[in-house]
Amino acid sequence: MGPKANAFSVRQTRISALMSMRSFNYLIGFCLLAYLSACSAPEEPAGSMETGKPVFVDVTMEAGLGDFKHETGGYGQSLMPEIVGGGGGFIDYNGDGWEDILLVAGGKWSHNELNDVQCLYLYHNNGDGTFTDVTEVVGLDLVRTYGFGVTVADYDNDGNDDFYLTTIYKNLLFKNDRGFFVDVSNEAGLNNESAWSTSALFFDADNDSWPDLYVGSYVDWTPASDLTCMYRGKKVFCTPQEYTGRSSYFYKNNGDGTFTEWTREAGFLAGVDTTLDKTLGVAVFDFNNDGWMDITTGNDTENDMLYVNQGDGTFKESGLQSGIAVSKNGYARAGMGLDTGVVDSTGNVSIFVGNFSDETVSVFRYMGNNQFFDRASASKVGFPSTTTLTFGLVLVDVDSDTDLDLLTANGHVLTHINEVSEAVTFKQPSQLYINRGNGVFDTYETDEGPLAKPLVARGLTYADYDKDGDVDLLYVENGGPAHLWRNDTDGGGYLRVQARGSESNKDALGTRIEAVANGLTMKRWVQTGASFLTSAEKTVTFGLGTNEVVDTLRVVWPTGKVDQFTDVAVNQEIRIVEGQGSYEPVTMD
């Protein structure tokens, strides 16, 4: 999250300390990356199609979200959690097909003041571009805690979107009872740990049709144990290196509305120093295409991790061996939000990780045999990201030209950083990197619109909230407002796919969807999101450029069964139910 604030010599301190502790492991990782660099294949020809320049419009006020403000709880003591939040996401709480917005407003420290801060806000999508605050109507107005992020899924397969809230205290599970939310944390077995939790994700680890839950933990911190770091006589936020990390948690879904804490049994504690987690970002993906979802985490000043699913819902940590754990120079970075996706025509997944302001965004592409290759420089993302501190990060097809572009949510953790480095500011604009179609990105430069506005951004996620076929963005600022950016880009055609499981979990989490158009294969997975403290829509969006038809649409379900369709018309949203062998257009009243 940040440097050692009193001296700002974090880079030298970090390198020497980490190399002394784990120099041998880092040497192995460095040599592996060098080897992969030497044998990497040349870039593929571009597969994207020319579209209009990206255009986003900030519609926060007109949409009805202008009253929201994230509360850090700060009262002049610079307590560490103040600078980390906030999060939120998209949820269809009433099942009407329109994505609603759920925001986490943070909290305050004194338990005597908790009643002053409403932690959650739910905004109903009216279907006309506006939202209405329904927090009280759905039973969430009295939630009082210090919240960070949410993950949304139908954990009990009853057809309703539920959600899980991460906090500085005990996390909370809210069951959706026909549009009204009930805290079922205790009866579900999810309220037995008190720890600083950050990003969490629902996914089906063992393909038993019941979504399991992974919860990232950060550092061992309480208000009483907050450390003091000084800069010019003023207390500032300390680096996470000064704190002991906390192990993350995994909960197995029992299929009866309850969960069992299964962290050790699933392999998340086996052979790993669990005090080194310090997890801020979590993503699930099937990088080796074996039908079992794997996990990667962004860890702050510690090794980023890759948990490989062993084909039975248990995992083996392979971050260092795979080449994603550390930088080319052999040190751990300030890993924060992250996302995964296929960004070129190789069909292989890449991992993108947001890092600190003197570090680049990490980019790793899968090369086969459980090995990843560092492509931060080759992707052209590395150098432009050196002055930004990136928390949220998403891969979306902004211009609907067939390939995934990269967006980052930036903002520093030190208000006085510009006094230390003239090139770095506290508030920072978001960055958009346009994919050429071959995994090489051009930085989109603009002095106009929301992309040019400096923010202290944290959470970043996406959904097509207005049902016009392109992906819109939701940002949450630390100690500030939320921002809804409508995508008005003059892009190409699109196909949006809703997958519904029958034998698989109802949300179809883990389903791989492939769209083939004019010889180009686009690959996506159904998931609850990634990034940082956020949850995205579960409908999959394919930008199709000038293509007028999807030649083949292939749906590979977690059960291994495949549904395949040909000659699917573009510019529509369709719903596919597992095993029915057909699809139907989604129409909105």
d(CA 99, CA 463): 7
Is the CA virtual torsion 272, 276, 282, 287 positive or negative? negative
Give the C-alpha separation, 479 to 48, whole Å.
38
> Distance between alpha carbon 478 and the CA centroid of its chain, in Å?
17
φ/ψ region of 38 (left if φ > 0, alpha if ψ in -120 to 50, else beta) reads alpha
Give the up-direction half-sphere exposure of residue 542: CA atoms within 13 A in the CB hemisphere.
33
Looking at residue 46, its pLDDT comes to 43
DSSP 209: S
Beta bridge partners of 135: none
Looking up tokens 């290759």 gives: 373
Task: Measure the CA–CA gap between 425 and 389, rounded to whole angstroms.
Answer: 9
Helix or strand (DSSP H, E) at 555: strand 549-556
Return the sign of the alpha-carbon dihedral for residues 416, 447, 396, 149: positive
Q: How far is residue 59's CA from residue 357's CA, in Å, rounded to a whole number?
A: 29
Residue 276 pLDDT: 75
What is the model's pTM?
0.92
Distance between CA atoms of residues 199 and 219, nearest Å: 13
- CB-based burial, 181-192: b 16+ in 10 Å, e otherwise: bebbbeebbbbe
Q: How many CB atoms lie within 10 A of CB 257?
A: 16
Full pLDDT tens readout for the chain, 589 residues: 544 333 333 433 343 333 333 434 444 444 444 444 434 444 444 445 566 799 999 999 999 999 999 999 888 888 999 999 999 999 999 999 999 999 999 998 765 554 578 999 999 999 999 999 999 999 999 999 999 999 999 999 999 999 999 999 999 999 999 999 999 999 999 977 788 999 999 999 999 999 999 999 999 998 888 888 888 878 888 888 888 888 899 999 999 999 999 999 999 986 566 667 899 999 999 999 999 999 999 999 999 999 999 999 999 999 999 999 998 888 888 999 999 999 999 999 999 999 998 888 999 999 999 999 999 999 999 888 888 999 999 999 999 999 999 999 999 988 878 877 778 888 999 999 999 999 999 999 999 999 999 999 999 999 999 999 999 999 999 999 999 999 999 999 999 999 999 999 999 999 999 999 999 999 999 999 999 999 999 999 999 999 999 999 999 999 999 999 999 999 999 999 999 999 999 998 6
